[in-house]
């Protein structure tokens, strides 16, 4: 709760002073993890970050399921460190100028886009004056040059002239000609970090600031910093033979390896990166429809209707005050923490999108989550009163719990069917999934590796409910899209899926009961009439009728025994 009048003002003023002086700092958690103090040089910071970044034991590369899958040709663009090889067929050895000249014909939009970029116009940045809304870029350029000097890439009195093809794709500030066949590289995040060390450090700090109290998720996840690791460690992804389908996952799970997921090459426009659509390709869809919910929320429609009158060139910290923004973007909420903006987007994570995951709901009222809730309150009070903010965040949490409860009720029904081996085809035609996945109810593989009767329909519905529809309900609550948590999507759809499950449950059990009655009749018939075709009947029971046998947990052997007893 807010304290009295003037002290609060003073507090805020102090906060702003502090914010300015530590602007270029990285979280203490990361300094501790890297064993660096505040006096570390750029080189020391860079070396420590990159060592960890490239360490397979800490999330780099193909991961623990590497033996199950092979890269496809396109993979080299998604994990260049693991798979990129320069093209053997392009024989040109080119200077800085020749790169540009030739590619103006070979791939003209690369060059056009670059010519519009800050990279190609460093002099324009040097000429900025403090009155300019983008004056901060001049400071940024000086910081970049300072980094390069610390790394020995720029002379003490040398100015960076430009950032051209050769700087990113061969070596920063390269003076020599480069051979396509041996020198070319696809820039990984550490290459960008040569200049943009602060941003890289911020992104990498996601590994350190998201530590779950009961290991609900692995350390530092979910995050951009380890999203490629999350991908390759997914058993279903690794086990899929359909590598081109699977590469669809990787195309979003690639922020760990590169920076151009948000900063589209080769203009690298900050305006683009600050607009909400920058996040839309990946943060949309069936299980995390953040974009869809945001876009049609009042937040999103205000941006859609008024955004063309705002100045998107100002830094995020000035978006509201100087840019004229009157509504939040993805960036102004998720890159903010305690009033500062950085490339660490996970410091306020609480539900992590998946309310059904073990330990997540239980954790919401913990101190860990409470501190993060307070950080959200601070974010919301940019535009709302504290009372409104708290009451809305409470609505969000409670609504999520209500949706979770419905899911859990449905989950139990399907679990019981599975335990009793009553799912259609469960006994007769449920092939094991390809390794490293293992058989189980409602596993993630059900979405991608359906085979025979694995999964059953009701099981798919349950998984869809928990893995997709429940997250979507929460995401709608989190992004203030009321129709999508109550009616158009969210709770109504959860009710639909619940209905499917309850309906199926009663039908499956009715069928089992009827089969039992028929079996009982058949037994009697055989007993009384010395029926000659009992072997046929038993064969058919072993086939399609088999599921019935397991209904009461009675195996075929047991059933025969009872059969005999009746006789």
In angstroms, what is the minimal distance from the CB of 541 to its own copies?
Answer: 9
* 116 binding its own copies? (CB under 8 A): yes
When the beta carbons of 24 and 457 are compared against its own copies, the nearer one is: 457
Nearest to 376 by CA among 333, 335, 345, 343: 333
Identify the residue among 185, 219, 356, 509 touching its own copies (CB under 8 A): 509
When the beta carbons of 112 and 408 are compared against its own copies, the nearer one is: 112
How far apart CA 538 and CA 522 sit, in angstroms, is 10
Identify the residue among 167, 204, 267, 437 touching its own copies (CB under 8 A): 267
Give residues 412-441 in contact with its own copies (rule: CB under 8 A): 424-425, 428-429
* 449 binding its own copies? (CB under 8 A): yes
Angle, alpha carbons 440-443-449 (nearest 5°): 100
For 8, half-sphere exposure in the C-beta direction (CA atoms, 13 angstrom radius) is: 5
User: x/- string (CB under 8 A) for its own copies, residues 380-419?
Assistant: -xxxxx-xx-xxx-xxx-xx--xx--x-------------
Please, what is the end-to-end C-alpha distance for the chain in angstroms?
78
Contact 224, 256 (CB under 8 A): yes
When the beta carbons of 216 and 284 are compared against its own copies, the nearer one is: 284
How far apart CA 91 and CA 183 sit, in angstroms, is 11
* 182 binding its own copies? (CB under 8 A): no
Nearest to 220 by CA among 232, 203, 243: 203
Structure tokens at 40: 């570390």
Give residues 521-560 in contact with its own copies (rule: CB under 8 A): 521-522, 524-525, 528-529, 531, 533, 537, 540, 543-545, 547
Give residues 352-371 in contact with its own copies (rule: CB under 8 A): none
Quickly count: other Cβ atoms within 10 Å of residue 507's Cβ: 12
Question: Is 403 in a helix, a strand, or coil?
Answer: helix
Give residues 466-505 in contact with its own copies (rule: CB under 8 A): 476-477, 480-492, 495-496, 498-500, 502-504
How far apart CA 234 and CA 444 sit, in angstroms, is 9
When the beta carbons of 7 and 130 are compared against its own copies, the nearer one is: 7
Nearest to 200 by CA among 156, 151, 160: 151
When the beta carbons of 297 and 369 are compared against its own copies, the nearer one is: 297
Q: Which residue, chain included where needed, has tokens 């060390």?
A: 197
Give residues 193-232 in contact with its own copies (rule: CB under 8 A): none
Q: Which of these segments, 87-95, 170-178, 210-218, 357-365, binds its own copies (CB under 8 A)?
A: 87-95
When the beta carbons of 147 and 484 are compared against its own copies, the nearer one is: 484
Structure tokens at 411: 């989950």
* 83 binding its own copies? (CB under 8 A): no
Written as one string, the DSSP assignment of 240-288 is -S-HHHHHHHHHHTTTTT-STTTS-TTT--HHHHHSGGGGTTTS-SSS-
Contact 115, 264 (CB under 8 A): no
Give residues 268-327 in contact with its own copies (rule: CB under 8 A): 269, 271-272, 275, 277-278, 280-282, 284-287, 291, 296-298, 301-302, 304-306, 308-309, 320-321, 324-327
In angstroms, what is the minimal distance from the CB of 438 to its own copies?
Answer: 18
In angstroms, what is the minimal distance from the CB of 211 to its own copies?
Answer: 28
When the beta carbons of 53 and 407 are compared against its own copies, the nearer one is: 407
- Identify the bridge partners of residue 336 per DSSP, sorted by sequence position: 341
* 113 binding its own copies? (CB under 8 A): yes
SS (H, E, C) 504-519: HHHHHHHHHHHHHHHH
Q: How many residues bind its own copies (CB under 8 A)?
A: 154
* 17 binding its own copies? (CB under 8 A): no
Give residues 124-153 in contact with its own copies (rule: CB under 8 A): none
In angstroms, what is the minimal distance from the CB of 131 to its own copies?
Answer: 20
Contact 291, 284 (CB under 8 A): yes
Helix axis angle for 491-529 and 556-566, nearest 10°, is 40
Identify the residue among 14, 18, 22, 245 touching its own copies (CB under 8 A): 245
| Catalytically active residues, by annotation | 253, 287-288, 354, 487
């Amino acid at each position: 709760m807010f304290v009295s009048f003037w002290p609060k003002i003073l507090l805020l003023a102090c906060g702003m002073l502090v914010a300015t002086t530590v602007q270029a700092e990285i979280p203490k958690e990361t300094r501790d993890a890297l064993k660096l103090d505040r006096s570390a040089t750029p080189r020391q910071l860079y070396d420590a970050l990159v060592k960890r970044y490239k360490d397979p034991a800490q999330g780099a590369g193909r991961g623990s399921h590497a033996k199950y899958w092979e890269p496809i040709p396109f993979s080299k663009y998604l994990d260049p460190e693991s798979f990129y090889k320069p093209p053997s067929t392009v024989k040109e050895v080119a200077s800085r100028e020749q790169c540009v000249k030739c590619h103006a014909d070979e791939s003209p939009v690369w060059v056009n886009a670059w010519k519009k970029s800050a990279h190609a116009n460093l002099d324009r940045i040097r000429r900025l004056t403090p009155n300019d809304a983008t004056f901060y870029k001049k400071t940024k350029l000086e910081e970049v040059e300072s980094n390069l000097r610390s790394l020995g890439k720029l002379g003490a009195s040398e100015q960076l002239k430009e950032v051209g093809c050769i700087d990113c794709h061969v070596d920063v500030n390269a003076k020599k000609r480069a051979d396509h066949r041996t020198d070319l590289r696809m820039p990984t995040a550490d290459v960008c970090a040569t200049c943009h060390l602060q941003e890289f450090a911020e992104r990498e700090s996601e590994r350190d600031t998201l530590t779950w109290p009961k290991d609900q998720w692995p350390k530092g996840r979910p995050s951009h910093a380890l999203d490629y690791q999350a991908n390759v460690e997914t058993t279903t992804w690794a086990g899929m033979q359909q590598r081109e389908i699977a590469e669809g996952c990787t195309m979003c799970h690639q922020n760990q390896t590169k920076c151009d997921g948000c900063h589209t090459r080769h203009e690298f426009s900050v305006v683009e990166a600050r607009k909400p659509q920058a996040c839309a390709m990946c943060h949309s869809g069936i299980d995390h429809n953040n974009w869809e919910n945001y876009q049609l929320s009042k937040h999103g429609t205000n941006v859609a209707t008024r955004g063309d009158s705002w100045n998107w060139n100002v830094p995020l910290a000035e978006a509201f005050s100087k840019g004229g923004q009157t509504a939040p973007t993805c960036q102004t909420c998720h890159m903010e923490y305690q009033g500062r903006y950085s490339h660490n987007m996970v410091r306020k994570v609480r539900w992590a999108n998946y309310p059904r995951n073990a330990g997540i709901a239980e954790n919401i009222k913990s101190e860990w989550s409470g501190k993060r809730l307070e950080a959200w309150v601070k974010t919301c009070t940019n535009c709302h009163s504290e009372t409104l903010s708290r009451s809305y965040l409470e609505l969000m949490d409670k609504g999520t719990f209500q949706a979770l409860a419905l899911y859990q009720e449905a989950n139990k029904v399907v679990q019981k069917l599975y335990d009793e081996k009553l799912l259609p085809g469960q006994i007769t035609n449920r092939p094991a999934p390809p390794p490293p996945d293992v058989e189980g109810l409602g596993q993630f593989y059900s979405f991608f590796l359906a085979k025979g009767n694995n999964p059953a329909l009701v099981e798919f519905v349950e998984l869809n409910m928990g893995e997709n529809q429940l997250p979507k309900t929460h995401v709608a609550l989190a992004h203030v899209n009321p129709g999508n948590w109550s009616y158009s999507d969210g709770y109504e759809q959860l009710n639909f899926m619940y209905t499917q499950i309850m309906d199926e449950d009663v039908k499956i059990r009715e069928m089992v009961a009827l089969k039992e009655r028929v079996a009982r009749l058949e037994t009697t018939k055989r007993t009384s009439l010395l029926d000659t075709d009992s072997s046929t009947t038993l064969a058919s029971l072993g086939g399609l009728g088999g599921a019935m046998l397991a209904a009461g947990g009675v195996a075929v052997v047991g059933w025969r025994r009872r059969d005999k007893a009746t006789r």
